């Protein structure tokens, strides 16, 4: 049994996320976690909300609430939506937790002791109108690299280039919109990333199994231009982890907090401690996942994230881990994903363009969205959501292939043999050929899932469903029954077992449907099919089943047109 530590990029607390955010990290991470659990492996799957920094402050101010209150409310909202999409987190934490505060301050002390933090007199943008220094996300402007006119002061969302506010062209305050800005001196702590370049480069080069997207972004920021730059890790804000050197005050840093991108990745570790504390577990329980001197040396750690997060997870966070000099677990594999675009353009939170996670659950159950998003995951390139494609995929894959198979088999059996697994007949060449095909396809499916090839996994799973339909059509038990009822019973017995098999295999993609099918087969044996022939005899003769309700309904043209119009513009 292997041990898998899995983390999804932690979403910002400010508001409800759209489907592009979901498929960019949480959903493929959940797919992988569910698959590894189904294979019998030990899994710790962690996620949290990213609550510090300017996004939280700005959103709280807009909502007219204290930032602590706003974050607590939005954590509850995001937690509920995650449950709605059936995210199987072992713990959904908060970066504002006491555990993360203490661990962040601990890492800062270790890095300072190692000479990797220095105090720098910095020039920072000051807004005369607002009467305050403006941290990076309080400043927006035009990206000097690609010309995008809504680049943030820390990073351009269009080209992913890391920025400083002073790099922006025509900068303005996001608080007041004022352009009356000037540079003033302030002091901040800098993480001396440049000192770790050789060690980082050696570590990244050793990851020859990483996706091209991940390594290309990492190497770009490591080697392009002036190479890896030292990075400020403090900000002039009131909301965040107070700057301390462990438990001690840090002279000259009073009133400052750690930069959100310093403390946020540390939450991955802190989240495990939150999980242990919440369940009354000793520290050794979470430490065996994160400390290689306490058992984490046999853990396989996989991170999932959108491409905009890759630079921080391949460079800044590893600097924190390596620079601490402590035996913390480093990531083994980073699954970076591209962007999901929306119906000829981009999802836009500010303009309410596209489908947001809460709205998606209002109009269709989670499995419909999970299937489409995962089967169209933006892996090798950006992908695009269109309502026409969504309708076609749901109707053809889920309703016509899987749902129709379940309906035909169970209803035919009920009408001819009753709601029990029928006895009689034997398997012949056709059944053995199906077993051989399924064995080949299931092994391929496992390989794609282990490799986190999400779209290929979905395609193989669909092919497994199709194989059952093709068998049913060729065997035609409704014809066989007229001349040889016993043989028809054997065919339907195999088909009923296929329903159970499909439930087990499909669980990572469509967990609600899988549970419904297992319940209909009145079976609790969810053993993974290492032996396909044995799996197709899991339901014994005489075992009762029920005919399930419609597994997946079709999306009508009127519904599609209505949704397309509804989500084209401003969010309701």
In a domain, 552, yes or no: no
Considering the domain architecture, whether residues 228 and 123 belong to the same structural domain is answered as yes
- Condensed to tens digits (0 to 9), the pLDDT of residues 444-456 reads 999 999 999 999 9
271 labelled as ligand-binding? no
- With tokens 């396809």, the residue in question is 441
In a domain, 200, yes or no: yes
Higher pLDDT, 223 or 328: 328
In a domain, 118, yes or no: yes
In a domain, 561, yes or no: no
In a domain, 456, yes or no: yes
Section 214-237 average pLDDT: 86
> Is the model's pLDDT at 118 over the cut of 90?
yes
Considering the domain architecture, whether residues 142 and 240 belong to the same structural domain is answered as yes
Q: Which pLDDT does position 353 carry in this prediction?
A: 81
Considering the domain architecture, whether residues 396 and 522 belong to the same structural domain is answered as yes
- pLDDT band of residue 350 (cuts 50, 70, 90) is low
515's enclosing H/E stretch is helix 511-520
143 labelled as ligand-binding? yes
47 labelled as ligand-binding? no
CATH of residue 454's domain is 1.10.730.10
- Give the Cα separation of 540 and 527 in Å (integer): 15
Domain that holds residue 46: 3-104+260-374
> Is the model's pLDDT at 170 over the cut of 70?
yes
Higher pLDDT, 354 or 436: 436
Section 5-25 average pLDDT: 95
In a domain, 553, yes or no: no
> Is the model's pLDDT at 570 over the cut of 70?
no
Considering the domain architecture, whether residues 173 and 87 belong to the same structural domain is answered as no
- Give the Cα separation of 337 and 376 in Å (integer): 12
The pLDDT > 90 percentage for the chain reads: 83
- Give the Cα separation of 264 and 289 in Å (integer): 18
Q: How far is CA 293 from the centre of its chain?
A: 29
Section 469-480 average pLDDT: 97
Q: Is 187 helix (H, G, I), strand (E, B) or coil?
A: strand
Total domains in the chain come to 3
- pLDDT band of residue 344 (cuts 50, 70, 90) is confident
CATH of residue 185's domain is 2.170.220.10
349 labelled as ligand-binding? yes
> Is the model's pLDDT at 126 over the cut of 70?
yes
Where does a domain end: 197, 228, 249? 249
DSSP 206-229: T-TTS-HHHHHHHHHHHHSTT-SP
Q: Is 544 helix (H, G, I), strand (E, B) or coil?
A: strand
Higher pLDDT, 55 or 200: 200
Least confident of 37-46, 84-93, 128-137, 560-569: 128-137
Highest mean pLDDT among 125-129, 391-395, 564-568: 391-395
Q: Which pLDDT does position 571 carry in this prediction?
A: 43
Q: Which pLDDT does position 225 carry in this prediction?
A: 63
DSSP 326-374: S-BPPPSEEEEE-PEEETTB--BTTTTBS-BHHHHHHHS-HHHHHHHHH
The pLDDT > 70 percentage for the chain reads: 99
> Residue 122 in contact with residue 187, Cβ under 8 Å?
yes
Considering the domain architecture, whether residues 317 and 439 belong to the same structural domain is answered as no
Residues written for the chain: 572
Least confident of 31-40, 80-89, 155-164, 517-526: 155-164
Pairing outcome for strands 91-94 and 42-49: parallel
State the chain's mean pLDDT as an integer. Answer: 94
In a domain, 572, yes or no: no
Section 293-308 average pLDDT: 96
Considering the domain architecture, whether residues 398 and 527 belong to the same structural domain is answered as yes
Considering the domain architecture, whether residues 134 and 244 belong to the same structural domain is answered as yes
Pairing outcome for strands 257-258 and 234-235: antiparallel
- Give the Cα separation of 209 and 115 in Å (integer): 32
- Give the Cα separation of 125 and 7 in Å (integer): 35
Considering the domain architecture, whether residues 411 and 529 belong to the same structural domain is answered as yes
Considering the domain architecture, whether residues 415 and 284 belong to the same structural domain is answered as no
Give pTM, 2 decimals: 0.92
Considering the domain architecture, whether residues 525 and 404 belong to the same structural domain is answered as yes
- pLDDT band of residue 226 (cuts 50, 70, 90) is low
Where does a domain end: 346, 374, 402? 374
CATH of residue 350's domain is 3.40.50.620
- pLDDT band of residue 87 (cuts 50, 70, 90) is very high
Q: Is 237 helix (H, G, I), strand (E, B) or coil?
A: coil
Considering the domain architecture, whether residues 236 and 219 belong to the same structural domain is answered as yes
In a domain, 80, yes or no: yes
Considering the domain architecture, whether residues 96 and 189 belong to the same structural domain is answered as no
Pairing outcome for strands 231-232 and 181-191: antiparallel
Cα-based angle 439, 445, 447 (whole degrees, multiple of 5): 105
């Amino acid at each position: 049994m292997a041990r898998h530590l899995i983390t999804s990029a932690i979403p910002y607390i400010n508001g409800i996320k759209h489907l592009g955010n979901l498929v960019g990290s949480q959903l493929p991470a959940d797919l992988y976690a569910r698959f590894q659990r189904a294979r019998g492996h030990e899994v710790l799957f962690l996620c949290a909300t990213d609550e510090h920094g300017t996004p939280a402050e700005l959103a709280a101010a807009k909502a007219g609430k204290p930032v602590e209150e706003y974050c607590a409310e939005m954590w509850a909202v995001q937690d509920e939506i995650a449950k709605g999409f059936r995210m199987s987190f072992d713990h959904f934490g908060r970066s504002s937790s006491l555990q993360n505060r203490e661990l962040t301050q601990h890492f800062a002390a270790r890095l300072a002791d190692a000479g990797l933090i220095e105090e720098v007199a910095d020039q920072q943008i000051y807004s005369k109108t607002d009467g305050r220094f403006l941290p990076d996300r309080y400043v927006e402007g035009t990206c000097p690299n690609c010309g995008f006119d809504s680049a943030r002061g820390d990073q351009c969302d269009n080209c992913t280039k890391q920025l400083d506010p002073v790099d922006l062209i025509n900068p303005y305050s996001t608080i007041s919109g004022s352009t009356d800005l000037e540079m003033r001196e302030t002091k901040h702590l800098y993480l001396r990333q440049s000192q770790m370049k050789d060690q980082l480069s050696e570590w990244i080069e050793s990851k020859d199994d990483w996706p091209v997207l991940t390594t290309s972004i990492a190497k770009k920021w490591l080697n392009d231009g002036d190479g890896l730059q030292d990075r400020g890790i403090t900000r002039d804000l009131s909301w965040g982890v107070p700057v301390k050197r462990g438990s001690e005050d840090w002279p000259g840093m009073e009133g400052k907090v750690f930069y959100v991108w310093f403390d946020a990745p540390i939450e991955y570790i802190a989240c495990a401690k939150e999980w242990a504390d919440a369940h009354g577990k000793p520290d050794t329980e979470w430490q065996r996942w994160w400390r290689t001197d306490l058992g984490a040396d046999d853990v396989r750690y996989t991170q999932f994230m959108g491409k905009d997060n890759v630079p921080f997870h391949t460079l800044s966070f590893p600097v924190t881990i390596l620079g601490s000099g402590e035996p913390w677990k480093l990531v083994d594999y980073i699954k970076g994903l591209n962007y999901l675009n929306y119906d000829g353009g981009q999802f836009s939170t500010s303009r309410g363009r596209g489908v947001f996670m809460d709205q998606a659950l209002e109009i269709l159950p989670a499995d419909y969205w999970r299937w489409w998003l995962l089967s169209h995951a933006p892996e090798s390139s950006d992908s695009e959501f269109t309502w026409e494609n969504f309708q076609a995929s749901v109707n053809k894959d889920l309703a016509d292939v899987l749902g129709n198979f379940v309906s035909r088999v169970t209803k035919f059996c009920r009408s001819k043999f009753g709601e029990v697994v029928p006895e009689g007949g034997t398997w012949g060449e056709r059944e053995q050929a199906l077993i051989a095909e399924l064995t080949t396809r299931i092994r391929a499916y496992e390989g794609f899932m282990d490799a986190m090839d999400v779209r290929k996994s979905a395609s193989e799973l669909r092919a497994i469903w199709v194989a059952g339909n093709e068998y049913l059509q060729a065997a035609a038990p409704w014809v066989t029954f007229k001349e040889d009822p016993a043989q028809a019973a054997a065919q339907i017995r195999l088909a009923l077992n296929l329903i159970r098999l499909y439930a087990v295999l499909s669980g990572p993609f469509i967990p609600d449907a899988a549970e419904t099918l297992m319940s209909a087969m009145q079976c609790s044996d969810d053993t993974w099919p290492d032996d396909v022939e044995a799996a197709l005899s899991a339901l014994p003769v005489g075992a009762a089943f029920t005919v399930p309700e419609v597994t997946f309904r079709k999306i009508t043209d009127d519904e599609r047109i209505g949704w397309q119009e509804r989500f084209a513009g401003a969010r309701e």
